[in-house]
């Protein structure tokens, strides 16, 4: 391992010394935490109070060639609730490649996405502990500037190892309007194939070693209007319920999107239906809580909120088949969301001197309407039928600049969260959340920001209140303090303050941050993907550096 | 062993500070066309790349703040700002309505699966990259209200 690193680095440095057409980019990220005992939430009972996740990535470019690697270190242990496969220090990624505008080759690890990712996406999210990069060979070929092909054969990264299953992919994108010189509109189409091959287990259910997925999509835009449509068909694959194969079923996804945008106004509507759409590079990975071995990207299509109290009840997409008990069966989800952005002009009564910006979002998600056979682990869905409601969310944001010094944001959210179906536990929550934020600029990078939040509900843990004060002393140095307080909890012992204080210092592309506080347990969601984290108290340090 | 690694790192990083070309990575236009980032930069001129996402509040604050003064900047230095969205497919559909609703005048490019972001080893957004032609002359991460003035000083310095 160490020899490999030395070898790479020697290679890189030699190359960089000798050549003019070369350049290097590297980045370092370190996230560490020292966990403390807490008189309110309990002692730290795991091993290793100090834990640290570290990443070092380097890329070297010479003419059309590139080579790179990412070393990762989880020492003495990864932070709480990361996959046990992320352990100790090792090479996470390594790759070499050649790229021109016509053709590109990659050997080693690579990230890839076909279409919107419904059929295939590999990506990295260090905070969530996700890295499902593919390791193998990839060729990209663009014979014309309107025609692009990609194909690859790979295994998928899992911890520092790779999947048992093999993945083969083919993608084509055809920009029809460029090919035929359409003047006023744009029209493009795409087609993808993804196959996952893994030896099947001996069962009576009818599925093969290979599972095939096909995606077709079109995109059209004219003047201020735009739309796109994607359909994915997934071939028969084992349905795994609580680690046992209980059936073999097909899957499908349909995504439709329409939008209209002109200066000062934007509207977007999305509809999506997914049935049994999970696909993992290893079948056994089905439903794992670390998001490992995930081949495709099925995020919740809801607004990603920015405030602490708006992120307590976060929806997660429900593409999977689940048979918990006769009253809790799932086979997918159906629903949509609507976005509206509007700018009230400067100089009008509501617009004031600087204009007022309004953003509205509504999303609603349901289970599929289906005939379920609990004993036989089987179902028959209706194509456009809406079943049990899982989630809805309505939010309104008003941003207003009052003067050169004052900026405010008002934010209101109404949420309905069916915890029983989403988390497969119990309960249903209806909540109203109010947030107001004000920023006061004092010039020369000095500014003060206040946030007040309230979550009102009669369900679950009842009411919460929260606040933040952030002070930017210069454009480099910032300190903050925040607290959310579950003051409405029926259990007095559970009326806990989750407070945090911290600061950050930024120099150019480098940032150093320190934080002390108590973290609320539960789902931490980034980019529509969630990870369950335990309640914890401690001191954390984060360093990110880019060169 | 560690010392050797660091020595190596230090030595070749030093040699490379003078040569900082932007990697030849493809990004997507709002109309869905795949273009290389290099082809979007004009020679000898200063271009500012701002890596952002629809869900990133400081990014929006930064682009809103620059939007208020962008006309003046362009008049004085003829700088171009390209806002590179790192949104993934969860939030990509929000880009068009958002930039229109905001009334931003920037060129927008999409880094759909964060290839360019990764090639530049960017971990946090907002992240600003100032280029003279295709060479990187300045980078900055994070945004504090008022930091747009410092960015403008940097643009003016390299526009001469």
Residues of A in contact with B89 (CB under 8 A): 113, 116-118, 121, 297, 299
For residue B18, the model assigns a pLDDT of 41
Inter-chain contact B141–A506, Cβ cutoff 8 Å? yes
A367-383 mean pLDDT? 94
**Domain check: are A312 and A290 in the same one?**
no
Which of B90, B127, B131, B134 best tests the A interface by mutation, with the highest count of A CBs <10 A?
B90
A394 in the same domain as A486: yes
A-chain residue closest to B123, CA distance: A544
Please indicate, yes or no, whether residues A38 and A112 belong to a single structural domain of this protein.
Answer: no
Residue-level pLDDT at B89:
86
Average pLDDT of B14-19? 46
Looking at A267, A298, A329, the residue that finishes a domain is A298
Residues A58 and A202 in one domain: no
**Prediction ipTM score:** 0.86
pLDDT in tens, A316-354: 999 999 999 999 999 999 999 999 999 888 888 888 888
What is the span of the domain harbouring residue A43? 1-83
Averaged pLDDT score across all residues of chain A: 91
> In the predicted model, what is the mean pLDDT of residues B149-153?
91
Do A360 and A463 lie in one domain? The reply is yes
pLDDT in tens, B116-148: 999 999 988 899 999 999 899 999 998 888 888
Confidence of residue B11 (pLDDT cuts 50, 70, 90): very low
Statement to judge: residues A311 and A336 lie in one domain: yes
* Structure confidence at residue A203 (pLDDT): 87
Identify the band that residue A528 occupies on the pLDDT scale cut at 50, 70 and 90: low
| pLDDT value of position A176 | 92
Tokens of A123: 């990506």
Identify the pLDDT of residue B17.
Answer: 46
Q: How far is B67 from chain A (nearest CA, A)?
A: 12
Query: A22 and B19: CB-CB below 8 Å?
Result: yes
Residue A92 within any structural domain of the chain: no
Selected residues 486-525 of chain A with any CB under 8 Å from a CB in chain B: 504, 506, 508-511
Residue predicted with more confidence, A184 or B84? B84
- Contact residues, chain B, for A294 at CB < 8 Å: none
Report if residue A377 sits inside a domain: yes
If asked whether residues A262 and A335 sit together in one domain, one would say no
Of A230, A265, A298, the domain-final residue: A298
User: Is residue A94 one of the residues assigned to a domain?
Assistant: no
For chain A, percent of residues with pLDDT exceeding 90 = 74
Please give the residue of chain A at the shortest CA–CA distance from B113: A113
**Is the Cβ–Cβ distance between A441 and B145 less than 8 Å?**
yes
Q: How confident is the model at residue A8 (pLDDT cuts 50, 70, 90)?
A: low
* pLDDT higher than 80, residue A10: no
Same domain, A547 and A461: yes
CB contact A16 to B (< 8 Å): yes
B145 to chain A, any CB pair closer than 8 A? The answer is: yes
Q: What is the per-residue pLDDT for A20? A: 62
Give per-residue pLDDT as tens, A265-287.
Answer: 999 999 999 999 999 999 999 98
What does pLDDT average to over chain B?
Answer: 85
In chain A, how long is the greatest CA-to-CA distance? Answer: 72
What's the rounded mean pLDDT across residues A415-442? 94
Q: Is the pLDDT of residue B4 over 50?
A: no
What is the 3 state secondary structure string of chain B?
A: CHHHHHHHHHHHHHHHCCCCECCCCEEEECCCCEEEHHHHCCCCCEEEEEEECCCCHHHHHHHHHHHHHHHHHHHHHCCEEEEEECCCCCCHHHHHHHHHHHCCCCEEEECCCCHHHHHCCCCCCCEEEEEECCEEEEEEECCCCCHHHHHHHHHHHHHC
> Looking at beta carbons, which residues of chain B come within 8 Å of A101?
24, 36
Q: What is the pLDDT of residue A370?
A: 95
Nearest chain B residue (CA) to A113: B113
Q: Write down the pLDDT at residue A259.
A: 94
CB-CB: which of B20, B31, B89 is closest to A116?
B89
Based on the fold, state whether residues A493 and A442 are members of the same structural domain.
Answer: yes
Mark yes or no for CB contact A112/B1 under 8 Å: no
Judge: A443–B120 Cβ closer than 8 Å, yes or no.
no
Interface contact B78, partner A, CB < 8 A: no
- Digit-coded pLDDT (tens) for A448-478: 999 999 999 999 999 999 999 999 998 889 9
Query: Looking at the 3D structure of chain A, how many domains does it have?
Result: 3
Same domain, A345 and A237: no
Core vs surface per residue A269-279: b (16+ CB within 10 A) or e: bbbbbbbbbbb
Q: What percent of chain A has pLDDT over 70?
A: 94
- B156: pLDDT strictly greater than 70: yes
Domain B21-159 has CATH 3.40.30.10: yes
pLDDT digits (tens, 9 = 90+) for A198-229: 999 888 899 999 999 999 999 999 989 999 99
**A448 and A342, same domain (yes or no):** yes
Interchain pair B8, A475: CB under 8 A = no
Domain boundary among A242, A271, A298: A298
| Dist. CA A298–CA A321, nearest whole Å | 14
Asked if A450 has any chain B CB less than 8 Å from its own CB, the reply is no
A163 shares a domain with A43 = no
Note whether A189 contacts B: Cβ–Cβ < 8 A: no
Q: How far is B1 from chain A (nearest CA, A)?
A: 8
């Amino acid at each position: 391992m160490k020899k490999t690193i030395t070898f790479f680095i020697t290679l890189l440095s030699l190359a960089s010394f000798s050549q003019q057409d070369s350049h290097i980019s590297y980045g370092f990220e370190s996230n560490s935490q020292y966990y403390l005992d807490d008189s309110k939430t309990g002692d730290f009972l795991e091993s290793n109070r100090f834990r640290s996740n570290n990443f070092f990535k380097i890329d070297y470019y010479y003419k059309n060639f590139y080579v790179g690697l990412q070393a990762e270190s989880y020492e003495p242990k990864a932070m709480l609730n990361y996959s046990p496969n992320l352990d100790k220090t090792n090479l996470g990624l390594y790759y070499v490649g050649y790229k021109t505008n016509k053709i590109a080759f990659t050997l080693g690890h690579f990230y890839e996405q076909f279409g919107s990712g419904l059929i295939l996406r590999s990506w990295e999210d260090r905070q969530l502990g996700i890295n499902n990069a593919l390791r193998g060979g990839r060729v990209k070929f663009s014979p014309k500037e309107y025609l692009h092909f990609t194909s690859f054969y790979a295994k998928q990264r899992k911890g520092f190892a790779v999947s048992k299953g093999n993945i083969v992919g083919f993608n084509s994108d055809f920009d029809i309007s460029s090919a035929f010189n359409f003047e006023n509109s744009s029209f493009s189409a795409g087609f993808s194939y993804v196959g996952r091959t893994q030896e099947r287990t001996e069962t009576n259910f009818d599925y093969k070693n290979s599972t095939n997925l096909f995606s077709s999509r079109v995109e059209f835009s004219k003047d201020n209007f735009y739309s796109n449509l994607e359909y994915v068909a997934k071939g028969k694959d084992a349905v795994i319920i609580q680690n046992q194969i209980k059936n073999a079923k097909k899957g499908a996804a349909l995504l439709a999107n329409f939008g209209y945008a002109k200066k000062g106004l934007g509207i977007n509507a999305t509809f999506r239906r997914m049935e049994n759409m999970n696909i993992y590079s290893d079948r056994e990975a089905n439903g794992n809580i670390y998001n490992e071995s995930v081949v495709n990207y099925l995020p919740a299509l809801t607004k990603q909120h920015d405030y602490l109290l708006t992120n307590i009840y976060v929806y997660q997409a429900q593409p999977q088949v689940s048979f918990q008990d006769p009253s809790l069966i799932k086979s997918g989800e159906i629903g949509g969301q609507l976005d509206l952005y509007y700018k009230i002009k400067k100089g009008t009564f509501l617009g004031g001197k600087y204009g007022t910006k309004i953003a509205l979002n509504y999303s609603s998600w349901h289970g599929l309407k289906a005939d379920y056979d609990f004993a036989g682990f089987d179902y028959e869905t209706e194509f456009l039928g809406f079943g049990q409601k899982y989630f809805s969310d309505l939010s309104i944001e008003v941003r207003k600049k009052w003067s050169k010094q004052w900026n405010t944001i008002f934010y209101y959210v109404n949420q309905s969260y069916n915890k029983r179906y989403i988390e497969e536990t119990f309960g249903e929550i209806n909540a109203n959340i109010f947030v107001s934020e004000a920023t006061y600029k004092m010039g020369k990078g000095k500014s003060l920001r206040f946030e007040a939040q309230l979550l009102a509900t009669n369900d679950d843990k009842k009411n919460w209140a929260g606040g933040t004060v952030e002070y930017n002393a210069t454009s480099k140095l910032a300190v903050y303090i925040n607290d959310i307080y579950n003051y409405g909890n029926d259990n007095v012992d559970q009326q806990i303050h989750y407070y945090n204080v911290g600061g950050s210092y930024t120099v150019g592309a480098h940032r150093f941050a320190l934080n002390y506080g108590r973290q609320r347990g539960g789902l931490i969601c980034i980019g529509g993907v969630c990870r369950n984290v335990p309640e914890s108290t401690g001191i954390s340090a984060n360093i990110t550096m880019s060169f | 062993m560690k010392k050797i690694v660091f020595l190596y790192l230090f030595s070749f990083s030093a040699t490379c500070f003078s040569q900082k070309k932007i990697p030849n990575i493809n990004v997507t236009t709002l109309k869905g066309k795949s273009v290389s980032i290099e082809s979007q930069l004009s020679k000898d001129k200063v271009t500012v790349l701002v890596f952002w996402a629809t869900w990133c509040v400081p990014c929006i604050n930064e682009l809103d703040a620059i939007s208020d003064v962008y006309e003046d900047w362009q008049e004085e230095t003829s700088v171009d700002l390209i806002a590179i969205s790192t949104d993934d497919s969860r939030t990509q559909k929000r880009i068009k309505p958002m930039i229109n609703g905001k009334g931003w005048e920037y060129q927008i490019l999409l880094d759909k699966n964060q290839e360019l972001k990764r090639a530049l080893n960017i971990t946090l957004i907002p992240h600003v990259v100032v280029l003279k032609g295709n060479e990187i002359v300045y980078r900055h991460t994070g945004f504090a209200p008022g930091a747009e003035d410092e960015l403008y000083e940097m643009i003016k310095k390299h526009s001469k």
